[in-house]
Amino acid sequence: MDIVYIKDLRVAAGIGIYDWEKAIKQQVRIDLEMAWDNSVPAASDCIDDALNYKLTAQKVIELVESQHHDLVERLAEDIAAMLMNEMKVPWLRLTVGKPGAVKQSKEVGVSIERGTR
């Protein structure tokens, strides 16, 4: 299976467990790797056969911006479920990072892998 990827997608998110975090937006950083058979769109040269990364990014952004998540773990699971259900992605690896969450670190977060390749 081939991989379609989106790297370093940055989205303003309602995320965090503290009251002050529930009142603001914080940037999260998302990396996605998604399994897709690229031989079909390569042969047809038609976007309808491809995993449309622009539409995929828009759907991820809409999901992240639409609701507050306390934990990055929950946000990652929600993104994965949406992509597998709506975009029919059979397998994905997803990293959600929260820059600045720990002072001595550039970023903290989670990486998950779902589905079968």
Domain boundaries, the chain: 2-115
pLDDT in the model for residue 117: 82
- Strand pairing report for 26-36 and 91-99: antiparallel
Give, to the nearest 10 degrees, the angle between helix 72-86 and helix 53-66. 140
CATH 2.160.10.10, applies to 2-115: no
Quote the pLDDT of residue 1: 86
Active-site option among 7, 98, 103, 106: 98
Query: What is the predicted pLDDT for the residue at 34?
Result: 98
pTM score: 0.95
Tell me the one-letter amino acid at 28: V
Q: pLDDT tens string for the chain (117 positions)?
A: 899 999 999 999 999 999 999 999 999 999 999 999 999 999 999 999 999 999 999 999 999 999 999 999 999 999 999 999 999 999 999 999 999 889 999 999 999 999 998
Indicate if 98 belongs to the active site: yes
Cα separation, 23 vs 13, whole angstroms: 11
Task: Determine the residue type at 103.
Answer: K
